[in-house]
């Protein structure tokens, strides 16, 4: 089943990229075929290509094209009973094992292509998916791809990833009743939690209306108590002055605003560096909102790394200078947001938000975002490091985000035929 699905994707690739035109094409009914327009690739339900223009014999046809490995797949998929397939003008198959008819019993012209593809191309295609021990299918050949092609593909992948993130923001905007400040808060909360506590921090941000945080913005104690209390981090019995102050403030807020902890995921400390403890990160998020009113509008108007970074220059309550958690005192250290952390916030929160807001307000800021991202250092993670081993080096945040998109949305899903790198490698064997 897996191989069959990939073969059909391969046939889509051959048709879409006009790789079958070297020889005269003839239908299995003996009629000459001239492809004038392959049509538009349909990635949803229905025939595979729309608006194709094809001359079959002396007749010019306009309609849809359906592609299968075997012609009998037409009946396997019940297309004969689906009116969406009544307008199919050509059935492209690897092998015709049965003749296919429309609902009105007329024969659908069929193009069999198994003898139209070179043996070298078939062998390379099969080898591309054969060795599952590889980290990515093309790891032995990716270093040979032209640098210009790789650079442009990574830039395109970056915008694909940005578009995917914008869908998340659009959903948050709906649930936040079109309040962009509330959307920013939820995104910042999730990304302050990083990978380990992202979902937990988002559940905290979702547990109360943003208007409540607005009411507390003149009180650092109030914001800290709200976030730490909702995170269930003020529930232990502890004789510590600042902790008791926070605990009492949270009890007041909880009663006054009828706060609920339903659906909240308690943050984890497990295997985290002390600087990433949820206590510290939530305190930093609280101080950010205490320091900066109308943060969304300020970030939208900030277009350089320095302008954005200045907004994130915060210093916590003195208690946190000697604590990473409530229970244990530590060596004195001011807990500031590091440039690396701020860069991650810019990459994963600020830029996607700017992109989404530009779409919402119908403005174009692609060049501004590219300029901003090109000046941010590449992220450091296992995906970026592994690609570097394969000589695909990340020089900026555009590259690192593109590489993450490449690995997660193409390599891991075996979408080599939709990848510019995979396509270029296949073209060598045409």
Q: Encode pLDDT of 289-330 as tens digits.
A: 999 999 999 999 999 999 999 999 999 999 999 999 998 999
Same domain, 18 and 110: yes
Examine residue 378 and state whether it is found in any structural domain, yes or no: yes
Could you tell me which residues come within 8 angstroms of residue 225 by beta carbon, excluding any fewer than 6 positions away? 234, 246, 247, 249, 250, 253
Please tell me the pTM assigned to this model.
Answer: 0.84
Query: Looking at residue 385, what is its pLDDT?
Result: 97
Same domain, 22 and 145: no
Examine residue 306 and state whether it is found in any structural domain, yes or no: no
Examine residue 127 and state whether it is found in any structural domain, yes or no: no
CA distance 72 to 53: 24
pLDDT at 3 over 50: no
Strands (E), 73-204: 88-95, 110-112
List phi, psi (to 5°) of 395.
Answer: -105, -10
pLDDT digit string, tens, across residues 269-290: 999 999 999 999 999 999 999 9
The C-alpha angle with vertex 194 and arms to 190 and 197, in degrees rounded to 5, equals: 75
Instruction: Give the chain's end-to-end CA distance (angstroms, integer).
Output: 26
Examine residue 222 and state whether it is found in any structural domain, yes or no: yes
Same domain, 236 and 269: yes
Q: How many structural domains is the chain composed of?
A: 3
CA distances from 220 to 42, 294, 319, 323 (A): 53, 16, 13, 17
pLDDT digit string, tens, across residues 114-133: 888 888 888 888 888 776 67
Same domain, 168 and 243: no
Examine residue 430 and state whether it is found in any structural domain, yes or no: yes
Which of 106-120, 191-205, 215-229, 282-296 bottoms out in mean pLDDT, i.e. has the lowest? 106-120
pLDDT at 206 over 70: yes
Same domain, 225 and 318: yes
Same domain, 94 and 12: yes
CA distance 307 to 76: 60
Helix (H, G, I), strand (E, B) or coil at 315: coil
Nearest to 267 by CA among 197, 364, 212, 182: 197
Domain holding 162, by residue range, is 135-175+345-430
**β-sheet bridge partners, residue 25:** 33
**Residues above pLDDT 70, as percent of the chain:** 97
List of long-range contacts for 45-48, beta carbons under 8 Å, 24+ apart? 45/84, 46/84, 46/85, 47/84, 47/85, 47/87, 47/88, 48/12, 48/15
Examine residue 129 and state whether it is found in any structural domain, yes or no: no
Average pLDDT score over the chain? 93
Half-sphere exposure of 348 (CA within 13 A, CB side): 21
Query: Looking at residue 430, what is its pLDDT?
Result: 60
Query: Looking at residue 19, what is its pLDDT?
Result: 81
CA distance 223 to 354: 26
- Concatenating the DSSP letter of every residue in 146-158 gives -HHHHHHHHHHHH
CB atoms within 10 A of CB 422: 24
Mean pLDDT of 329-345: 96
CB atoms within 10 A of CB 144: 11
pLDDT digit string, tens, across residues 348-402: 999 999 999 999 999 989 899 999 999 999 999 999 999 999 999 999 999 999 9
Same domain, 209 and 320: yes
Same domain, 376 and 244: no
Examine residue 291 and state whether it is found in any structural domain, yes or no: yes
Same domain, 319 and 186: yes
CA distances from 45 to 48, 50, 66, 77 (A): 8, 12, 11, 12
Same domain, 367 and 419: yes
Give the model's confidence band at 59: pLDDT under 50 very low, under 70 low, under 90 confident, else very high. Answer: very high
Same domain, 316 and 351: no
CA distance 372 to 20: 43
pLDDT at 139 over 70: yes
pLDDT at 428 over 90: no
Examine residue 375 and state whether it is found in any structural domain, yes or no: yes
The answer to whether the beta carbons of residues 90 and 109 sit under 8 Å apart is yes
Helices and strands per DSSP (H, E), number in the chain: 18, 7
Give the model's confidence band at 228: pLDDT under 50 very low, under 70 low, under 90 confident, else very high. Answer: very high
Same domain, 39 and 60: yes
């Amino acid at each position: 089943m897996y191989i069959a699905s990939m073969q059909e994707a391969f046939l889509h690739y051959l048709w879409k990229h006009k790789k079958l035109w070297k020889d005269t094409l003839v239908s299995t009914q003996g009629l000459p075929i001239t492809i004038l327009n392959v049509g538009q690739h349909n990635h949803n339900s229905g025939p595979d290509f729309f608006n194709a223009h094809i001359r079959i014999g002396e007749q010019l046809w306009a309609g849809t094209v359906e592609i299968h490995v075997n012609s009998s797949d037409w009946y396997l998929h019940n297309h004969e009973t689906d009116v969406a397939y009544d307008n199919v003008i050509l059935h492209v198959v690897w092998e015709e094992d049965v003749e296919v008819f429309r609902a009105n019993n007329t024969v659908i012209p069929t193009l069999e292509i198994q003898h139209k593809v070179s043996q070298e191309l078939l062998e390379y295609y099969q080898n591309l998916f054969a060795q599952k021990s590889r980290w990515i299918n093309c790891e032995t050949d990716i270093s040979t791809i032209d640098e210009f092609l790789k650079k442009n593909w990574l830039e395109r992948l970056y915008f694909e990833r940005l578009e995917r993130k914008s869908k998340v923001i659009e959903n948050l905007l709906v649930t936040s009743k079109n309040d962009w400040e509330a959307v920013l808060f939820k995104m910042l909360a999730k990304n302050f939690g990083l990978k380990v506590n992202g979902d937990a921090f988002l559940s905290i941000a979702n547990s109360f209306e943003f208007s409540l945080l607005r009411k507390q913005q003149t009180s650092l104690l109030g914001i800290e108590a709200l976030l730490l209390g909702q995170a269930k981090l003020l529930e232990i019995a502890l004789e510590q002055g600042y902790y008791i102050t926070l605990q009492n403030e949270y009890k007041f807020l909880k009663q006054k605003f009828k706060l609920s902890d339903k659906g909240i995921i308690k943050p984890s400390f497990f295997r985290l560096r002390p600087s990433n403890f949820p206590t510290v990160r939530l305190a930093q998020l609280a101080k950010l909102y205490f320091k900066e009113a109308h943060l969304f509008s300020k970030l939208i108007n900030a277009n350089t790394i320095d302008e954005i970074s200045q907004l994130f220059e915060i210093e916590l309550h003195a208690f946190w200078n000697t604590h990473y958690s409530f229970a244990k005192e530590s060596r004195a250290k001011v807990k500031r947001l590091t440039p690396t952390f701020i860069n991650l916030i810019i990459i994963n929160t600020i830029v996607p938000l700017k992109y989404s807001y530009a779409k919402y307000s119908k403005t174009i800021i692609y060049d501004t975002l590219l300029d901003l991202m090109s000046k941010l250092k590449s992220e450091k993670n296992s995906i970026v490091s592994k690609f570097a081993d394969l000589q695909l080096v990340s020089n900026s945040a555009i590259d690192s985000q593109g590489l993450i998109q490449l690995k997660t949305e193409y390599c891991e899903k075996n979408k080599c035929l939709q990848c510019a790198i995979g396509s270029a490698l296949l073209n060598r064997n045409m």
